[in-house]
Amino acid sequence: MFLYWFWLALLVCYNLLMSENTNKVYAFIVDGDVFATLHISAQAPNYERIVAGFSSAPIVVDATSIDGVSFGWTYDGENFIQPSE
């Protein structure tokens, strides 16, 4: 029985040491000053898409007045374009 618990503990330790902490923290910066941070859990919906987007120097645009802007929409520099079905 001791060997079972020993190997189990060893396996858990190995997984903890070898697993990458995939939670992300992004800092928002203007003129060198951090004005906000965003923490994203690896369990968040669309995690990979969000991480890819934040890793690509995103542009932030106020979309408050546009109804329904979400994943799949595009932006041409002036207008938000709803996805075609």
Phi, psi of 5 (to 5 degrees): -65, -35
Query: What is the distance between the alpha carbons of residues 22 and 55, in angstroms, rounded to a whole number?
Result: 14
What's the total number of domains in the chain?
Answer: 1
Q: Is residue 7 in a domain? A: no
The range of the structural domain enclosing residue 30 comes to 20-81
Answer yes or no: is 2 within a domain: no
Write out pLDDT tens, residues 26-80.
998 888 899 999 999 988 888 898 899 988 888 889 999 999 998 889 999 999 9
SS3 6: helix
The confidence score (pLDDT) of residue 19 equals 45
